[in-house]
Amino acid sequence: MSTRTVTVLISGTGTNLQALIDARQARRLDLEFVQVVSNRPEAPGLRRAQQAGIPVTVVDHTEFADREAFDRELANTVAQGAPDLVVLAGFMRILGPAMLQRFENRMINLHPSLLPLYRGTDTYRRALEAGDREHGASVHFVTAELDGGPVISQVRIPVETGDTPERLEARLAPREHDLLVATVELFTRHPVQCCHGSITIDDKPLARPLELQADARLPV
């Protein structure tokens, strides 16, 4: 079944959320945003959702005794909207069993590296320190293994002489927006299934991640 309803999880500025909102406004994405949920009450992305008329909820991780309690409340909050797909767009908390049991196989994350390289955080600095000639971003299914879920799509950019983590991040950002929009569009047009380590699109196995093309589309 393809995706019709989406809940987006954020923690920060929300530029990837904004890219999804703009793509829906431009009728490139045929979907409904059920809600935007942030673990940080001060996340600027919440204002972007409100301005787009999307319901927002804050589940502040600092208000819970432990991770499990936060995870349960987050899972209950997301489940109220019964989304077809949960999109982590700059969501900065590691999810536990409550979220994974309810949404695994229909929860995706945008990660700023060419997975499996550089799982976790601080990916730009790590890529530069390794002397990589290219960097990029990945969209993958969320599993218990942090940033270890099957990778759906990727976008590559060259590392340029003199790059700093900030310059590399700034150059990747617009391509991340393109990648996330194209990947969510894929979910709205095709049944994309996971897991046990592999992905199918239209019931056909995906042998390797889809590479974002210059026209900001995925080759499907």
Ligand X SMILES: Nc1nc2c(c(=O)[nH]1)N[C@@H](CN(C=O)c1ccc(C(=O)N[C@@H](CCC(=O)O)C(=O)O)cc1)CN2
Ligand Y SMILES: NCC(=O)N[C@@H]1O[C@H](COP(=O)([O-])[O-])[C@@H](O)[C@H]1O
Residues within the annotated binding site? Answer: 14-16, 67, 92-95, 109
- The pair of structure tokens assigned to 95 is 């999810």
136 binds ligand Y (CB under 6 A): no
Radius of gyration of the chain (CA): 17
Between CA 97 and CA 158 the distance in angstroms is 37
Of 78, 112, 86, 106, the residue nearest 20 (C-alpha) = 86
Cβ pair 55, 22 in contact under 8 A: no
Pick from 24, 61, 106, 111: which binds ligand Y (CB under 6 A)?
111
90 binds ligand Y (CB under 6 A): yes
CA dihedral sign, ordered 160, 164, 167, 172: positive
Q: Let me know if 111 is a catalytic residue.
A: yes
Candidate list 50, 101, 121, 164; residue touching ligand X; CB under 6 A: 121
Mode of pairing for the β-strands spanning 198-201 and 204-205: antiparallel
Tokens read off for 30: 């045929």
Binding ligand X (rule: CB under 6 A), the pick from 109, 154, 183, 188 is 109
**Mask: binding to ligand Y, 37-56, rule CB under 6 A, as x and -?**
--------x-----------
111 binds ligand X (CB under 6 A): yes
Q: Does residue 138 bind ligand Y (CB under 6 A)?
A: no
User: Minimal distance in Å, beta carbon 100 to ligand X?
Assistant: 6
The reply to whether 206 sits near ligand Y by the rule CB under 6 A is: no
